[in-house]
Amino acid sequence: MKTCLLALMLSMLVVACGNDNAAQQATNAHNQQTYKWKLVTSWPKNFPGLGTAPERFAEQVNVMSGGRLQIKVYGANQLVPAMQVFDSVSAGTVEMGHSGSYYWKGKVPAAQFFCAVPFGMTAQEMSSWLHYGGGMALWQELYAPFNLVPLAGGSAGVQMGGWFNKEINSVDDLNGLKMRLPGLGGEVLSRLGGVPVSLPGGEIFTSLQTGAIDATEWVGPYNDLAFGLHEAAKYYYYPGWHEPGSTMEFIVNQEALSALPDDLQAIVRNAARAASQDMIDEYTFRNIAALEKIQALEGVTIKRFPDSVLAALQQTSEALLAEQAAADPEMDKVYQSFLQFRAGVTRYHNLTERAYLNLRAD
């Protein structure tokens, strides 16, 4: 390094000549520093969809920065366990993470709203709430004490309701139902007599096949098909009331972000925005193909949950959210913003997205 100090000083001196590019060249000299970041994720390395998004993000940052910001992506457990992404970025052990904010509800209950809550918003609606409806400011405020800057990190779209080995014809059929359904969805099921089970991804298939669980949700047709869930269950239910538009998160260590020059900060933000849109684009495409395969399978029946069941799930979900928000002022602040935006966008999409999708499908 020492041998280059003089060279660097020289190169900074020689640019001090009187043309338009002088200031620019000085800036460039100042910006020649190369940054190497680590990005940890909650997904297996290159996990289809969720895991490929941070890879694409890192690749685009590398190209856009001309190699000045190099981000290495780690799968879950390669560097830190899946559920330690938040803490590791917060502590500055690593500079970035890609995960889902609902994993941190034990630490920050309000964080769930920035990923998915039952009967919440779709991917398109979430993106608008975050970037224009005040959601992002609330998220930033929530993460600031942890030294974290959140950015939207993509969505898989409206999920399916899950794979079942028991038909669900009434609310009574939820009674005693053992289902792998984490988070708030699981709490709703529990209130209706079901038994939510927590299982890591790798154990779902066997548990479903052996009858240790009666049902499971996972992500959607693309990831579900790859997991082989159609070989372990008879019914594929819709719609995914529990996760209508789960939004993933990029989290950046505050000091690491601030230490970057302005151009690299903007590159990180724009790359995240682009990767975010890319994820829903990819999931939409791959879900179409996967659903076609599932629909062609013998032995799998695709069914809509009965109205009575959906009504009970909705009522229970709304009550649960209201109770949790009432008990936590920080959560209540986010909840009120969420409620207001959801009401407005429901009215608007009734006349546009919803009316049009219904028209086209008839």
Residues 28-67 that bind its own copies (CB under 8 A): 28-29, 31-32, 34, 60, 63-67
**Residues in region 71-100 near its own copies by CB under 8 A:** none
Site size with its own copies, rule: CB under 8 A? 100
Cis peptide before 54 (omega within 30 of 0): no
Shortest CB 2 distance to its own copies, Å: 9
Q: Is the distance from CB of 142 to CB of 330 less than 8 angstroms?
A: yes
CB of 202 or CB of 347, closer to its own copies? 347
CB of 203 or CB of 281, closer to its own copies? 281
Q: Which residues contact 48 (CB under 8 A, 6 or more apart)?
A: 222, 223, 226, 286
293 makes contact with its own copies (CB under 8 A):
no
Residue type, position 355, single letter: A
Nearest to 233 by CA among 202, 204, 190: 204
276 makes contact with its own copies (CB under 8 A):
yes
Q: Which one of 286, 312, 325, 335 is in contact with its own copies (CB under 8 A)?
A: 286
**Residues in region 114-143 near its own copies by CB under 8 A:** 119, 122-125, 127-133
Q: Is the distance from CB of 139 to CB of 130 less than 8 angstroms?
A: yes
| DSSP-derived secondary structure letter, 159 | P
Q: Is the distance from CB of 155 to CB of 121 less than 8 angstroms?
A: no
Shortest CB 28 distance to its own copies, Å: 5
CB of 227 or CB of 305, closer to its own copies? 305
Q: Which one of 198, 296, 299, 360 is in contact with its own copies (CB under 8 A)?
A: 360
239 makes contact with its own copies (CB under 8 A):
yes
Q: Which one of 108, 160, 179, 331 is in contact with its own copies (CB under 8 A)?
A: 160
| DSSP-derived secondary structure letter, 273 | H
**Residues in region 170-229 near its own copies by CB under 8 A:** 220-221
- Specify the DSSP element, H or E, that contains 251: strand 247-253
Largest Cα separation within the chain, whole Å, is 81
Q: Which residues of 321-340 are buried (b: 16+ CB within 10 A; e: fewer)?
A: beebbeeeeebeebbebbee
CB of 141 or CB of 348, closer to its own copies? 348
Q: Which one of 77, 91, 285, 323 is in contact with its own copies (CB under 8 A)?
A: 285
- The stretch among 45-53, 104-112, 204-212, 233-241 that binds its own copies (CB under 8 A) is 233-241
